[in-house]
Structure 1
Amino acid sequence: MATAWRRSTLCFREPWPLHHPQCYYQLPDLVLLCWLIILAFFLAEVAGVEARVSSEGCLPRERDALLHYKAAIRDPFDCLSSWQEAQGDDCCAWTGVVCYNRTGSVRVAELNLQNPIGGQLNWWEYSLRGELLHPSLLSLTHLQSLNLSFNDFEGTQIPPLVGSLHKLRYLDLSDSNFGGIIPPHLGNLTDLRYLLLYAYHYPNSATVVVHSLDWLSGLSSLIYLGMSALDLSAVSHNWFSAVNMLPSLQHLHLDDCKISNIPLSLNFPLNLTLLTTLHLSFNNFNSSFPNWLSNLTSLSSLKLDDCEIRGTLPIEIGNLISITYLDLSLNLLSGPLPDTLSKLKHLTYLDLSYNLLGNSLPMGIMNLSSLSTLRLINCSLICPIPSELGNLTTLNQLFLESNLLSGLIPPEIGKLVNLRDLDLSVNSLKGDITEFHLSNLTKLVFLILSDNHFLTIAIDHNWTPPFQLELISLGSWHLPSSLQNCDKLLVVDLGDNNFFGNIPLWIGKSWQWLRILQLRSNMFIGNIDPQLGHLLHYLQIIDFANNKLSGSIPHSFGNFSTMISTLVEPLPPFGFEQMAISDTIQISSGSESITLDTKGSQLTFSSILYLVKSIDLSNNELTDEIPEELGYLAGLQTLNLSRNYFKGKIPDSIGGMSSLETLDLSFNNLSGVIPEGLSQLNALSHLNLSYNNLSGNIPCGSQLQTLDDASIYIGNPYLYGDLLNKSCFPRNNTIIVSSKEHVMSSPVLIIYLGSALGYFVGLWSVFVLLLFKKKWRNSYFMKIDEIYDKVYVAIKIRFNRIVNG
């Protein structure tokens, strides 16, 4: 055989004649043919397997495991409705399940069905609950990705069985309300690349404690580690050395972990050479800027805000040549800033707010040619705005509020052609703002210049702005009519100024998308535009308090569609992305907030401003009756009509304001009975009806019984109820005298009649006794004469002394 093989090889390699008897059969050709036949059979078998998989779907064993999992947990809103036991049902088509095409094995279980980012506000009510890491998951032997975030473990601990899911590469249990101690069994997941254990968004979530991070040493392939909002205080002394054992780590998120220590220098090699994201915000390091951070040359995002970092920034910070996002706000940093900041050529976001940066704006910042956002809020800056600021032509957001900036606004600010948000409020700027400053800012959306008392506007009223503002706060300026050309405004805050005259009628006609209109604490007079409710459907906050408005509340106020709805209304089809729900819910990219009178005090809203629905017309000179149409506003949360001259009764329709939390009708001339509907407002937590002419019984509904402060009703002498230590009589005992007179109930009438009768009987009893008892009569009149004589003598003596000096 060996000879035959050699011959065949020779026949293959050497040019023997084809008719040579030893070369009649050439073995390599036969081998090739055999291999082709085997390959054909193999491909046919593979095609058959794939056909069977495509026809049969997922593996029956894993399908049963998923059904067992569904039976073991609670799904109150049937989010897993596609998981059915029907014969032949393919589990690979079920919600959240992804399989391998070839084998039918479950590869991904994506069960974060109620992600609140862009989803429902009360998402936790719809989440899966119970034993979410059930043993049935162990039957999914090829599972590589498991996402159970935004569900509800109901405070139970992550079970040790999680360490048995050996094939996992992605595990997300963030915001799922697990509690207790992080199990070290996570260290058995040696193939894991992404581990997310955040605990940020779940309301009133259970406490999660990390006693040790030694298990991290088993996760040598880990790329992403997110443990923000877990309690790492027990490992403050060695957390960094544990993390440093992850050579593949690129993203580290340990915000708000109660870590109290960060090493200033290292006595061991730094292994985190691939790290691009380092977020350690809201910890209490109380130290200077760590030296080793400047060695992380791959770092693109660094967040150390609110960490009590003190001292000056080292010049080595210029070594972070790859960084694009730098947030060192809310610390104890002091100036001056190093000039090496100018080396951070890729930096797009810089926030150094709430530090003590010195007297001047750092000039090194003025050379950051890629900068998009600059936030230097409340940095104790005492200087003019430098003209070099105009070099930052890529700037999109500029926030310099709450400093002591002085002088004129430089005309070079007009070079910031990409500027979207500008906030220079609460400074000492002076001079004029002209069209020259603003004419090139075509992308401007937020303009906040309030609380600069020497800053005035010098813009022609006929000037048409080239931008479409969504938020404006001007401060102590006259209201320019050119603003009516900004027809996409969403927020107008012109409160606490000296505006006077009538509220312009063009507001309702020009600002149709307006959400918030605050004109409080000015000197506006006259009537409220009767068409306002027909024109501004989207208004959710109206604040006209502390003016001198007169007339009545327009009936059109019942047409505000956003206040009628109890839902969060969709945003207009342009801009204002910041009002949408995001990781950090806020109304603007800056620090814009609005102060409202609610719940009996002034509260400042910023992060949840888009949820607030309020009408405040207090402290004006409004008259007539409260319109019934206000009862249509089922979504309204605060209604303050106090300190006006409203008369008549409280409308019965008030019972339809189902979302009302605060109602203040105090210091008016309201009369009549308190409507029964008021007791049905289950959300009501603050009520003030004091100092009116209300009468009758206080309704005995369940909600009003929880408001047990008697001052709610003070100044209404004809009101009765248990709270006022008077009986809560049935409604049918009430007697209405007149719509223009006090309403007097039968108990009041009985008391008055009883008092009059008692006085009459007592007085005549004395007269009768004196009439028939001569001895008593003589004694009585003698005593009267004696008292008269004493008083006369005393007065006479006093008078003579005064006359005689």
Structure 2
Amino acid sequence: MTSWLLWLVVVFTMIAVGKGKQNVHQECHPNDLKGLASFKAGIHVDTSGRLAKWVGHGCCRWEGIACNEATGRVTEIRLPGFISTNDSVFQSQMRGLLSPSITLVSCLEIIDLGGLIGLAGRIPPSIGLRLPNLRKLYLYGNKLIGPVPDSIGKLSKLEELHLYENRLSGSLPSTLGNLRNLKQLLLYSNELAGMIPDSFTNLTNIVQIDLHSNILTGHIPERIGEMQVLEKLDLSKNLLTGKIPLSLANLNSISEMYLDSNHLEGEIPFPSSFGQLSSLSFLRLDDNHLTGRIPASFGNMISLQRVSLENNKFDGVIPSSLGNLSALTELYLSGNLLSGQIPESVGQLSQLIMFNVSHNQIQGPLPHELSSLQNLQTLDLSFNHLNLISFPKWLAQLPSLSRIYFAGCGIQGEIPDFLQATPSPIQELDLSSNHLTGSLPAWLGRLTQLYKIKLFKELTCFKDPCFRNAFSDGSLTYVDLSDNYFSTGIVQAGVGSQTGIQYLNLSHNFLEGRVATTIGRLKSLQTLDLSCNRLGFNLPEALANVSSLEKLRLQKNHFTGRIPSGFLKLTKLKELDLSDNLLAGEDSCG
């Protein structure tokens, strides 16, 4: 009998506990309900329709809400802008203000309201005081304004803080240095100002910090190099000044370092000894005021894959030690004062895909060792002192090369015929600002993957077939043939058949006659520049059919008559220049 009574007690106890759990899930905690209801009330547009389903008092069953099974308290609000379905991913919007009452949901561990586009207001000042369990806070990609609250520094459990792409202002609170569990800090693309707090050096567990696209000023703290486990450092697109701290060489675990687009000066201070920055794979120092030589020790950072040093004031020769970077795939050195010849060791970079050393003072000849770059896809040597005279034939035999930029390299003679039979089809070709002669070769029209071509300076064309043959096929989107001696009219069967062209520049030639009606077939055309020619008759009414047109330059020709009323249909037009013609009457475009 005793055992039977004991069994009944256990059964009734289990039933009571079960009902308790059921009630927890049926009834929302009053504070949680009030906080969520206030959040919903602040949103006046929800394109996802999720908030419309928030009815009743059982908030744990609402879409985007998760609760603790034992306590019934809300622990997660997940309402991201990007929503995945079985078929696709789409971005929803929520327009309205972020209610400060959201902090009433005091047991929250995760808030994900990122990428909602229209969410405005401020981050609640009390967020750090009322949400002690918060581990992840995603408010990125919205329209939030105001400062980053000081109280965020009290969120001792916070691991990820994503506030990027908002309109946050003010200075970075020094209390962020108290977040010892923080692994990701992403604050880029805001309007934050001031210096990076020295307290950031306390973030010894952080693995990613990203502050680019702000208006931060001041220096990079020397002690930032004490972040021994830091894996990603992004301070790009700010107003940082001073020298690059030598202590950055102590970041033994770092794989990505982005300091580009600031006002940094001085020399590259690392690596100062072998083994430093041995894990660094991606390095961007471009668009600063850095000076001096590229250090020979640069070749010791053997994990480097992508390096950009362009648009600085580096001088001297390219160090031959770069040939040690066997993993290097992209090297950008353009826009400096580099001199001497390209070192033969560059030919050892078997993984190199992109090599850009344009706009320097590099001299010829080119080392034949470059012919070993079997994976090279893009080569830009433009505007150096190469004085090549002729185009190096062995470069045209590289099996992967499809983008060739040799502008301003002193090349003479006609466009070489061997370019029509390269192992990899040419997609982009820039031979402008050279001393090319002759006419456009007919085989250009057979380069079916060519979509960008710049050939201005000194080419001739006196017959319409010259255009027709060169452009009767292919998939061109960018054509710049300005500053030549072309005298034929605008092609009827050539350029007019290239319906995918987006940019067409035939300015500063000797074109004459009418603009053919086939110009109206260029439905994708965004920029058309026919200025400084001898074109005449009426303005081409067919242009009214090019609805995508944004820039139209027809100045300094011999056009007559009135401006066609159809031009009013060009609603995307941002720039129109018809000056220095023989147009008559009132401007019908208003």
Structure 2 residue 44 is matched with structure 1 residue 79: no
1:255-298 Cα distance to aligned partner (Å, 9 max, x none): 563224765xx9xx9643223334455666555x6442333222
**Change beyond 3 A, Cα 1:129–1:533:** farther
Q: Which amino acid aligns with 1:643?
A: C
Structure 2 residue 113 is matched with structure 1 residue 148: yes
1:456-477 Cα distance to aligned partner (Å, 9 max, x none): 2663379532114246345323
Structure 2 residue 501 is matched with structure 1 residue 536: no
Deviation at 1:129, TM superposition (A): 0.8
**Change beyond 3 A, Cα 1:639–1:458:** closer
Structure 2 residue 257 is matched with structure 1 residue 257: no
Pairing of 1:252-291 with structure 2 (within 5 A): 252-253=185-186, 257-260=192-195, 263=198, 271-279=202-210, 286-287=218-219, 290-291=221-222
**Change beyond 3 A, Cα 1:423–1:156:** same
Structure 2 residue 80 is matched with structure 1 residue 112: yes
Which of 263, 269, 277 in structure 2 is aligned with 1:344? 277
**Change beyond 3 A, Cα 1:302–1:35:** farther
Partner of 1:687: 576
**Change beyond 3 A, Cα 1:290–1:168:** closer
Alignment partner of 2:161: what SS?
strand
Alignment partner of 1:339: what SS?
coil
1:122-145 Cα distance to aligned partner (Å, 9 max, x none): 98xx7321134385x679786543
Q: Is the 8 A contact 1:149 1:173 kept in 2?
A: yes
Measured in 2, the distance between the counterparts of 1:331 and 1:660 equals 40
Q: Which amino acid aligns with 2:301?
A: L
Structure 2 residue 264 is matched with structure 1 residue 299: no
Measured in 1, the distance between the counterparts of 2:15 and 2:427 equals 64
**Change beyond 3 A, Cα 1:319–1:181:** closer
Give the % identical residues.
Answer: 27
Partner of 1:446: 378
Measured in 1, the distance between the counterparts of 2:77 and 2:370 equals 53
Partner of 1:525: 461
Partner of 1:722: none
Structure 2 residue 295 is matched with structure 1 residue 362: yes
Measured in 2, the distance between the counterparts of 1:57 and 1:437 equals 74
1:109-160 Cα distance to aligned partner (Å, 9 max, x none): 4433269xxxx9x98xx7321134385x679786543322333557533456
Structure 2 residue 408 is matched with structure 1 residue 475: yes
1:481-538 Cα distance to aligned partner (Å, 9 max, x none): 4443265544433332222222233333224252x3222344343455326665333x
Alignment partner of 1:409: what SS?
coil
Partner of 1:17: none
> After the TM superposition, which of the residue ranges 327-336 and 620-629 deviates more from structure 2?
327-336
Structure 1 unpaired stretches of 5+: 1-26, 209-229, 564-612, 706-805
Q: Which has the higher helix share?
A: 1
Structure 2 residue 501 is matched with structure 1 residue 549: no
Measured in 2, the distance between the counterparts of 1:105 and 1:311 equals 50
Pairing of 1:661-672 with structure 2 (within 5 A): 661-672=550-561
Deviation at 1:422, TM superposition (A): 0.3
Deviation at 1:682, TM superposition (A): 2.7
Partner of 2:529: 640
Deviation at 1:371, TM superposition (A): 1.4
What TM-score does the superposition give when structure 2 sets the normalisation length? Answer: 0.79
Q: Is the 8 A contact 2:249 2:270 kept in 1?
A: no
Q: Is the 8 A contact 1:92 1:106 kept in 2?
A: no
RMSD: 4.6
**Change beyond 3 A, Cα 1:84–1:440:** same
Partner of 1:623: 512
**Change beyond 3 A, Cα 1:187–1:307:** closer
Pairing of 1:401-800 with structure 2 (within 5 A): 401-433=334-366, 436-456=368-388, 459-460=392-393, 464-470=397-403, 472-476=405-409, 477=411, 479-484=415-420, 485=422, 487=424, 489-512=426-449, 514=451, 516-526=452-462, 527=464, 529-530=467-468, 535-537=473-475, 539-555=476-492, 556-562=494-500, 613-699=502-588, 704-705=589-590
Deviation at 1:105, TM superposition (A): 8.1
Q: Is the 8 A contact 1:499 1:524 kept in 2?
A: no
**Change beyond 3 A, Cα 1:511–1:47:** farther
Q: Which amino acid aligns with 1:129?
A: R
Measured in 2, the distance between the counterparts of 1:625 and 1:318 equals 64
What TM-score does the superposition give when structure 1 sets the normalisation length? Answer: 0.60
Alignment partner of 1:178: what SS?
strand
Measured in 2, the distance between the counterparts of 1:508 and 1:63 equals 68
Q: Which has the higher strand share?
A: 2
**Change beyond 3 A, Cα 1:474–1:110:** farther
Measured in 2, the distance between the counterparts of 1:671 and 1:352 equals 53
Alignment partner of 1:454: what SS?
coil
Deviation at 1:183, TM superposition (A): 4.9
Partner of 1:216: none
Q: Which amino acid aligns with 2:431?
A: L
Structure 2 residue 136 is matched with structure 1 residue 170: yes
Structure 2 residue 327 is matched with structure 1 residue 394: yes
Q: Is the 8 A contact 1:642 1:668 kept in 2?
A: yes
Measured in 1, the distance between the counterparts of 2:448 and 2:402 equals 10
Q: Which amino acid aligns with 1:500?
A: T
Measured in 2, the distance between the counterparts of 1:342 and 1:480 equals 47
Measured in 1, the distance between the counterparts of 2:60 and 2:402 equals 51
**Change beyond 3 A, Cα 1:471–1:165:** farther
Partner of 1:231: 170
Q: Which amino acid aligns with 1:147?
A: D
Structure 2 residue 255 is matched with structure 1 residue 324: yes
**Change beyond 3 A, Cα 1:489–1:93:** farther
Higher relative contact order (CA 8 A, sep 6+): 2
Q: Is the 8 A contact 1:384 1:407 kept in 2?
A: yes
1:532-552 Cα distance to aligned partner (Å, 9 max, x none): 665333x33322111112323
**Change beyond 3 A, Cα 1:197–1:453:** same
Alignment partner of 1:258: what SS?
strand
Measured in 1, the distance between the counterparts of 2:439 and 2:11 equals 89
Alignment partner of 1:646: what SS?
strand
Measured in 2, the distance between the counterparts of 1:643 and 1:85 equals 65
Alignment partner of 1:156: what SS?
strand
Q: Which amino acid aligns with 1:541?
A: Y
Structure 2 residue 122 is matched with structure 1 residue 157: yes
Measured in 2, the distance between the counterparts of 1:685 and 1:134 equals 42
How many residue pairs get aligned? The number is 565
Q: Which amino acid aligns with 2:453?
A: L
Deviation at 1:429, TM superposition (A): 2.2
Measured in 2, the distance between the counterparts of 1:60 and 1:278 equals 36
Measured in 2, the distance between the counterparts of 1:43 and 1:383 equals 83
Q: Is the 8 A contact 2:81 2:93 kept in 1?
A: yes
1:363-410 Cα distance to aligned partner (Å, 9 max, x none): 111122211123333554443333332111111111222333333323
**Change beyond 3 A, Cα 1:82–1:551:** farther
Measured in 1, the distance between the counterparts of 2:352 and 2:12 equals 65
Q: Is the 8 A contact 1:334 1:355 kept in 2?
A: no
Q: Which amino acid aligns with 1:80?
A: G
**Change beyond 3 A, Cα 1:424–1:363:** same
**Change beyond 3 A, Cα 1:449–1:59:** same
Q: Is the 8 A contact 1:108 1:145 kept in 2?
A: yes
Q: Which amino acid aligns with 2:484?
A: N
Q: Is the 8 A contact 1:525 1:548 kept in 2?
A: yes
